[in-house]
Structure 1
Amino acid sequence: MPCPRPSPRSPACPPTQARQRRHFQRAAVLRIVALLLAALLGSLLSPRLPAAEPVPPRVLGLHGHLELDYSITVRVQGLAAWAAHNDARRLVPFIDGRALPGTFPESIDLGNGLLVYHPRINDDSRSVWTDLLGAPEGMQRAVTFSVGPVDGSPFASVHDEHGRVQLTVISPIYGGIALAVVVVTLLVFVHLARTTSIIRKPVPFGLGPYDLGRFQMAVWFFLIYLSYTAIWLVTDDTDTIHPSLLALLGISAGTALSEAVIDAGGPAPGTAPPPAAEAPAADAHGQWPAERTAIGQSRSRLHAARRQLAEHGSPDPDTELASATSRGLLHDLLSDAHGYRFDRFQIFAFTLILGVVFLSGVYNNLSMPELSPTLLGLMGLSSGTYIGFKLPERR
């Protein structure tokens, strides 16, 4: 019991009660210190629970048409938490595990986790798009899709190996229209080639034989025409013709033009040769007149012409007629009046093999091959050889 305060009427507490009071105060202080030490030791010795980690981002879906030059919207779970410590403007699409550098989001909605992209071919992503769209096996192709940092790994996605999305290689609408135009063009050309002189030698009557120079020019025109249309359908690129292709078209056009000029310099096939001018009659003494003939021939040349006609006779009109008619495409291209010629076969073979190589490059790389100066020189040499052999033939 605590000792009451001393007063004049009550004496001071005895010494025993004072000691008890001091003992009680010390015990209270010790209890408070013990509680503080226990709390401190408990916080130090108790196991700490790991801090809750943010949920990793995950692509939940893709809205829109996955095709070049079309906008798509990608929904990403946990985008806001990821963007708190990273730059969402550096996120790019990943198609088949390959990033599309330079294709950054046009719009970012962190609250709803939405990213808007407009895929296009640029200098950084051209090689990736070539691998994705080259060597197509159909109008569409199944691919995996996700987004991620341009210099990192893609996020987890629902469009993985088991949930692929369709990548449109060729638009069905534009592809159908272009196919119809190309088919109609080819059919019209084939009809004209069979019924007119569009790639034949001109003759006064009927249809002449097929012309090698015009045939080569037509082949290269249609190869470039078809390739240009196909590349535009897939990549939406309209600037795909290299200067080397202009040189190639110039070589083929020059071959056809040179052949036409050479043919125009001699008698047209199928026409009979002009009748030989009659020699002036000799006078009573057997002397020839001194004046020249109408074509300026001297008497010696006129005698030589008369002897040649007497020995060999005049040309056979049936032979001229046979050389002016077609005997089939391959026969007309590889032979002339003297039979099959190697210079014709050479230019025909080079045209075919280079055409196959050209189409292969367009199919696999989605670009027209850029021909080297050596290859163009080879084509020019082949055409020059053909023209060179045609000169003496025409004479």
Structure 2
Amino acid sequence: VQRFSLTDSLGESTKYLTLGDRIRMTVSHLEKLTGDTSGTLPKKSDLVLYVADYPMEQIRPLAIARSSEDSSLSVLTFELIRTEETMKDWKMFYTMPRDYTHMVKFSVGMKDGSAVAENEGHEIEVVFIRKGIYRFALAGLLFIIISLFILARRSSIIKDNCLLPTQQKPFSLAKTQLAWWTGIIISCYIFIWAVTGARVPITESTLALLSIGITTSVGAKVIDVSQEKKHRPQASPSSGFIIDILSDDNGVSIHRFQMVVWNLVMGVGFVISMAINYAMPEFDNTLLALMGVSNGAYLGLKIPENPKHSGMGEGKQQPPAPVVAPPPPVEAPPPPPPAPQTPPPPPADG
């Protein structure tokens, strides 16, 4: 490799590379990589980009051409892209020690690694994490979290539908789960895009987790609508966020508890995986199936939660009906005093 030229995504020259930029390298006697003595240039499909001596198997040259200055020189153009196909190739560079930039050696070679063009010590600065935007993105995430918290407290976005005032409505477990995964997925995607400059693909696991949350929320709504004639526990004033989402008619219930725990575990794992790899996580299918079973158990056991008679707030036993004392007996009014007797008139004289 004789020399390099770098251009950004807009075609302007740059002194360092980020994802989306292009690198143009000039290589002497490129045909020797294939062992072709006829002077024919290799096919683009036979060559891959080498970054730090690591073959980027899915990054092929965009163009190969002879140099106009010297027929023994060939010019190759590569684009540093991070797509679903190239995600595996870039993973190792995002799990390296957390420097924002790295000095990296670039080269070109056969995709099977049988021959690689020598790089005479040329290293290029590559910005894997944009420092200024990284801090701005962290501040933005903090703002989103605080905003969601305030919205959840002051609105009905994660509360059950009932006739109570907004501040008294109990919190809904199904809506909370949907808001949990929506917030995590959107925040992680925007963070990765802002920090790396690459719009990473949405993985199947991400889609599955959001689908589970939506399906559970819809199922819970259907159950509640079908039992509108019953006095549902959700129609009673809130007992606090934790009590509301963990409790049914009889107090804290195991099917709600296990659902909350699994969502916490998966959510924390999702964020940690994103922070390590700067990519949307991919979970094992068995783990996703376990999440589905957990949510299915919640929906199945939610059906008998609502009592047939009078209901009460979640996590509270029904208070006994107040005993109404019988009214005191009404006493008959005392009889009126006897009328004074008028003495008879004296007898008349003869």
Q: TM-score range by the shorter chain?
A: 0.5 to 0.7
Please report the TM-score for the alignment, with normalisation by the length of structure 2.
0.63
Shift of 1:96: 1.2
CA contact (8 A) 2:62 2:76 kept: yes
- Residue in 1 aligned with 2:77? 117
Match of residue 100 from structure 1:
56
> In the alignment, which residue of structure 2 is the partner of 1:74?
25
> What's 2:294 paired with?
382
Shift of 1:167: 1.5
Task: Measure, in 2, the Cα distance between the counterparts of 1:394 and 1:344.
Answer: 14
Distance (Å, rounded) in 1 between the aligned partners of 2:140 and 2:5: 34
Q: Quick one: structure 1 residues 269 and 122, their matched pair in 2 at CA, closer, same or farther if it must change by over 3 Å?
A: closer
| CA shift for structure 1 position 157 | 2.4
Cα 1:103/1:94, change in 2 over 3 Å: same
Paired residues of 2:106 and 2:124 also in contact (CA < 8 A): no
Q: How does 1:299-338 map to 2 (within 5 A)?
A: 324-327=237-240, 329-338=241-250
Cα separation, 2, equivalents of 1:361 and 1:134: 11
**Structure 2 residue 148 is matched with structure 1 residue 236:** no
Superposed CA offset, 1:295-337 (max 9, x none): xxxxxxxxxxxxxxxxxxxxxxxxxxxx51232x333322234
Shift of 1:211: 1.6
Q: Alpha-carbon deviation of 1:67?
A: 2.5
Residue by residue, what CA displacement relative to the aligned partner does 1:267-307 show, whole Å, maximum 9, x if unpaired?
36697xxxxxxxxxxxxxxxxxxxxxxxxxxxxxxxxxxxx
Q: Give the secondary-structure state (helix, strand or coil) at the position aligned to 2:268.
A: helix
Please tell me the residue identity of whatever aligns with 2:118: F
Aligned-residue offset at 1:346: 0.5
Partner of 2:217: 256
Q: How many residues align?
A: 278
Question: Could you tell me whether the CA contact under 8 Å between 1:209 and 1:326 is conserved in 2?
Answer: yes
Shift of residue 197 of structure 1?
1.7
- Structure 1 residues 169 and 194: alpha-carbon distance in aligned structure 2, compared to 1, 3 A threshold: same
Q: CA RMSD in A?
A: 3.9
Among 228, 231, 241, the residue aligned to 1:267: 231
Q: Distance in 1 between matches of 2:278 and 2:218?
A: 33
Larger helix percent? 1
Could you tell me which residue of structure 1 aligns to residue 329 of structure 2?
A: none
Any gaps of 5 or more consecutive residues in structure 1? 1-57, 272-322
Kindly indicate whether the alpha-carbon contact (under 8 Å) linking 1:59 and 1:146 is maintained by their aligned counterparts in 2.
no
Alpha-carbon deviation of 1:248? Answer: 3.4
Q: Structure 1 residues 248, 92: CA separation in 2 closer, same or farther (over 3 Å shift)?
A: closer
CA distance change for structure 1 residues 376 and 82 in 2, over 3 Å: closer, same or farther? Answer: closer
Q: Distance in 2 between matches of 1:270 and 1:376?
A: 29
Is 1:165 paired with 2:124? Answer: yes
Q: Aligned equivalents of 2:84 and 2:302: distance in 1?
A: 48
- With over 3 angstroms needed to count, the CA separation of the structure-2 counterparts of 1:173 and 1:88, relative to structure 1, is farther
* Structure 1 residue 344 displacement after superposition: 1.1
Q: Deviations over 1:118-174 (max 9, x none)?
A: 323578755322222457835x33143132432313413233xxxx53212245687
Equivalent AA in structure 1 for residue 121 of structure 2: V
Is 1:208–1:325's contact at 8 Å kept on the other side of the alignment?
yes
Distance (Å, rounded) in 1 between the aligned partners of 2:174 and 2:41: 60
CA drift at 1:256: 2.4
Structure 2 unmatched ranges of 5 or more: 7-13, 308-350
Superposition TM-score, scaled by structure 1 size:
0.57
Aligned to 1:394: 306
Specify the structure having the higher radius of gyration (Cα).
1
Partner in structure 2 of residue 149 of structure 1 = 109
Q: Is the 8 A contact 2:26 2:75 kept in 1?
A: yes
Aligned amino acid, residue 73 of structure 1: R
CA shift digits 1:168-211 (9 cap, x unpaired)? 22456876786676554433222101211211224412332322
Matches within 5 A, 1:31-70: 59-60=2-3, 63=6, 64=14, 65-70=16-21
Q: Percent identity?
A: 24
Q: Distance in 2 between matches of 1:245 and 1:365?
A: 14
**Whole-angstrom CA distance in 2 between matches of 1:384 and 1:92:** 47
1:365 deviation in Å?
A: 7.4
| Partner Cα distance (1:209, 1:132) in 2 | 46
Determine helix, strand or coil for the equivalent of 2:168.
coil
